[in-house]
Amino acid sequence: MLLNWTMAEAKRDFERGTFTAFEIYDSTLMDVPTWSISLRGPVSTKSAGVLVDARTKTERKFRTLDAAVAALRAIGFKAARLEG
């Protein structure tokens, strides 16, 4: 099931143990570099989705990779390294 989470919802669900993984992906459009975040739960729950803006409920876009990592850390994830 594809779900969407605001930052507040993601923090709450992280504390409940909902998430097992995340992914930061390049969501660049029209030469404006942006990054987005995908969140995943256990395979058995089939829960996955993206971080969305609280007001617009559209996919949240970060202008820098550092900002995306900071958001993950604010949710509660330990983002210690990036791999390519």
Q: What is the pLDDT of residue 44?
A: 60
More confident residue, 70 or 29: 70
Q: Is residue 25 in some structural domain? A: yes
Q: What's 60's DSSP letter?
A: P
Q: Is residue 83 in some structural domain? A: no
Q: Is residue 46 in some structural domain? A: yes
Q: The domain containing residue 68 runs over which residues? A: 2-75
Q: Is residue 82 in some structural domain? A: no
Strands of the sheet with 48-51, listed across from one edge: 2-5, 48-51, 35-40, 21-26
Section 56-83 average pLDDT = 92
More confident residue, 34 or 41: 34
The string over 24-47, giving b where at least 16 C-beta atoms fall within 10 Å of a residue's C-beta and e elsewhere, is beebeeeeeebbbbebbbeeeeeb
Q: What is the pLDDT of residues 7-38, one digit of tens each?
A: 999 999 999 998 989 999 999 988 889 999 99
Q: What is the pLDDT of residue 68?
A: 96
* Maximum Cα–Cα distance across the chain: 38
| Rounded CA separation 3/55 (Å) | 16
Instruction: Indicate the pTM of the whole model.
Output: 0.86
